[in-house]
Amino acid sequence: MVDIDEQRAEELASLCACPGSIDVADAMVLDAIDIVIVSTINASIHPLVMEALRNKKHVLCEKPLGCNAAQAKAMVAAAESSGCVLKTGFNHRHHPAIKQAKALFDEGKIGELHFMRARYGHGGRHKGMRKNGVARELSGGGELLDQGVHILDLFRWFAGNFKEVFAQTSTNYWNIQVEDNAFAILKKDYLKLAPIFDFNDIKGVFADQAGWEVEQGIRHLKDGWDICSHVKML
């Protein structure tokens, strides 16, 4: 168990009956370790995953897989060259209602898939985030990268890859450095559509839309899309 806070590392390690440490490099080379679980802030994901793969460890990484598509692709390439398994923890696939819907769909009991729609987000955050903002260098993105990747994963789980993408993001309500609202439409063949309406706080939905930046939105969605497209998922 490794944490930058030694006391917390030791406390959690005691619950799991394993050693606690603040030294990642030492832990990564231990022969007794086969699998590394990376559950940190987004900015730390890429270096930790790469270090684990260099040491021939399988990796379960908390979503998102890094701060951008370039990091995700680098981690996937490293996993392929190392022969190790890299998985991203898209836990929404394991929610009972979603699991049942997928089972019914796979069994052909629902019929042909024509349309999917999702609305997802946080009902506001704690005061510290609203006051101090979210630093892009630590998170890589906002609501789209944080929650939108779940929706992209589920849509691709049901429908496979999409061929066309249109997206917009904006920061409409919170005083933060990243987007708090995102909207996207994904299109497949045969006019099948999968719109996403993904937002941080319902107050933001009714904010002034004049600040929406299309180019930025497409760039952010492309990063989120690439992250989903290049990961072997659970």
Q: Alpha-carbon distance 139 to 193, whole Å?
A: 29
Q: Residue 29: its pLDDT value, please?
A: 92
Is residue 1 included in any domain, yes or no?
Answer: no
Residue 101 has pLDDT above 90, yes or no: yes
223 in a domain, yes or no?
yes
Q: Which has more pLDDT, 45 or 113?
A: 45
CA distances (Å), origin 102, targets 142, 153, 155: 28, 13, 11
Helix (H, G, I), strand (E, B) or coil at 199: strand
Domain CATH for 128: 3.30.360.10
Domain assignment of residue 234, yes or no: no
Q: Residue 154: what pLDDT? A: 92
Domain boundary among 88, 123, 143: 88
23-69 pLDDT, tens digit per residue, is: 999 999 999 999 999 999 999 999 999 999 999 999 999 999 999 99
Residue 124: pLDDT band (50, 70, 90) is: low
Supply the pTM of this predicted model.
Answer: 0.78
Boundary residue ending a domain (88, 109, 129): 88
Question: Same domain for 133 and 215?
Answer: yes
Please answer whether residues 165 and 185 qualify as being in contact, where contact means their C-beta atoms are separated by less than 8 angstroms: yes
Is omega for the bond preceding 64 within 30 degrees of 0, making it cis? yes
